[in-house]
């Protein structure tokens, strides 16, 4: 192999060919080209990516702001918030702002409990009845009017019973199922309807024999909650064993949550506290403690 002596060191050792050295010198000159280009890029970046303006930075969202975001709270919190709110107001329509605030607050309560007691993550709140639906049993002239005029065609017809018609309108009644043979009618309202208040209002009308929720069949795990004196009282019910027919086994845990502090309450003590009794709908306390 013939070596070019111009490319050999003083130790006479072979080195890369001259063309390689020329390539190295070319690469070495790149910074002189790269640095000006980098400077131009840095100058242009503010126009491409605007610098954050501290004055325009979004503030930390409040509970009210979080409540206004659809789907912000978990389904458990939304179910419990509606239960709590329906029990604290006699208005025919729910307060959506209040519902949202309750849902966000309850979500925080559940997060504290499940963070301290991870096994509670498997316990979910259960919808007890179909939302915005009531089952009425009617009689007399009201039954006759419904049978004749509510044939399922066209706009919502009037029955001629002023109280009944006005209540239907206020609750946002939009569809119905009339069953004259069973003296019954199924009413479907706006999602803003307060079914607890609506039920009592219908029962006060002459000709309405009963007004019931469209309850789901079966049983299962559930959560009950209420607040008092700045604290939340929460019951979490594990249930298992043929729950479609009514669960064979259940285990209840009782918690008091104040801010981020979670206290697990002994069952014997909890059963004597009115706050826990108020957490469940009227008449359901035996089911939670049996």
230 & 207 share domain: no
pLDDT at 91: 94
Q: What is the number of other CB atoms lying within 10 angstroms of the CB of residue 123?
A: 24
pLDDT digits (tens, 9 = 90+) for 191-242: 999 999 999 999 999 999 999 999 888 888 999 999 999 999 999 999 888 8
Q: Identify the domain boundary among 215, 232, 259.
A: 215
pLDDT at 215: 87
Q: Is residue 40 in a domain?
A: no
pTM: 0.68
Is the CB of residue 90 less than 8 Å from the CB of residue 58?
Answer: no
Helix (H, G, I), strand (E, B) or coil at 100: helix
pLDDT digits (tens, 9 = 90+) for 85-138: 988 899 999 999 999 999 999 999 999 999 999 999 999 998 888 889 999 999
Q: Identify the domain boundary among 173, 199, 215.
A: 215
User: Is residue 140's pLDDT more than 90?
Assistant: yes
Q: Is residue 18 in a domain?
A: no
139 & 190 share domain: yes
123 & 262 share domain: yes
121 & 238 share domain: yes
Domain that holds residue 153: 129-215
284 & 227 share domain: yes
Q: How many domains does the chain have?
A: 2
Helix (H, G, I), strand (E, B) or coil at 30: helix
User: Is residue 44's pLDDT more than 60?
Assistant: no
123 & 241 share domain: yes
Residue 71 backbone dihedrals phi, psi, to 5 degrees: 75, 10
Q: Is residue 112 in a domain?
A: yes
Rg, Å, the chain Cα set: 35
Q: Identify the domain boundary among 215, 240, 265.
A: 215
Q: Which helix (H) or strand (E) holds 274?
A: helix 274-278
pLDDT at 282: 67
User: Is residue 37's pLDDT more than 90?
Assistant: no
Strand-strand pairing, 175-179 and 129-138? unpaired
Q: Is residue 207 in a domain?
A: yes
Is the CB of residue 212 less than 8 Å from the CB of residue 202?
Answer: no
Q: Is residue 33 in a domain?
A: no
pLDDT at 20: 38
95 & 233 share domain: yes
Q: Compute the average pLDDT of residues 6-34.
A: 43
Q: How far apart are CA 146 and CA 161, in angstroms?
A: 10
158 & 262 share domain: no
pLDDT at 244: 82
77 & 195 share domain: no
Q: How far apart are CA 120 and CA 114, in angstroms?
A: 5
Q: Is residue 12 in a domain?
A: no
75 & 118 share domain: yes
Is the CB of residue 214 less than 8 Å from the CB of residue 189?
Answer: no
75 & 111 share domain: yes
Q: Is residue 94 in a domain?
A: yes
User: Is residue 6's pLDDT more than 60?
Assistant: no
Q: How confident is the model at residue 246 (pLDDT cuts 50, 70, 90)?
A: confident
Is the CB of residue 209 less than 8 Å from the CB of residue 137?
Answer: yes
Q: Is residue 139 in a domain?
A: yes
176 & 189 share domain: yes
Q: Residue 152 is part of a domain; what is its CATH number?
A: 3.30.70
């Amino acid at each position: 192999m013939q070596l070019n002596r111009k490319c050999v060191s003083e130790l006479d050792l072979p080195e890369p060919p001259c063309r390689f050295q020329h390539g190295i010198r070319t690469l070495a000159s790149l910074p002189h080209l790269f640095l000006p280009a980098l400077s131009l890029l840095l100058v242009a970046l503010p126009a491409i990516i605007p610098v954050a303006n501290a004055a325009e930075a979004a503030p930390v969202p409040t509970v009210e702001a979080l409540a206004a975001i659809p789907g912000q709270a978990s389904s458990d919190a939304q179910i419990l918030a509606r239960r709590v709110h329906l029990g604290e107001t006699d208005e025919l329509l729910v307060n959506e702002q209040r519902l949202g605030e309750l849902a966000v607050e309850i979500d925080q309560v559940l997060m504290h409990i499940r963070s301290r007691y991870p096994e509670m993550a498997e316990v979910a709140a259960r919808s007890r009845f179909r939302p915005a639906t009531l089952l009425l049993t009617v009689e007399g002239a009201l039954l006759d009017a419904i049978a004749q005029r509510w044939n399922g065609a066209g706009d919502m017809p009037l029955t001629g019973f002023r109280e009944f018609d006005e209540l239907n309108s206020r609750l946002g009644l939009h569809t119905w199922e009339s069953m004259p043979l069973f003296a019954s009618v199924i009413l479907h309202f706006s999602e803003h309807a307060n079914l607890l208040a609506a039920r009592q209002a219908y029962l006060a009308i002459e000709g309405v024999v009963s007004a019931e929720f469209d309850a789901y069949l079966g049983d299962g795990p559930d959560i009950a909650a209420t607040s008092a004196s700045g604290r939340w009282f929460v019951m979490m019910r594990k249930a298992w064993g043929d729950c479609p027919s009514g669960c064979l086994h259940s285990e209840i845990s009782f918690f008091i949550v104040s801010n981020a502090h979670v206290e697990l309450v002994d069952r014997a003590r909890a059963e004597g506290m009115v706050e826990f009794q108020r957490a469940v709908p009227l008449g359901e306390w035996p089911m939670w403690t049996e």
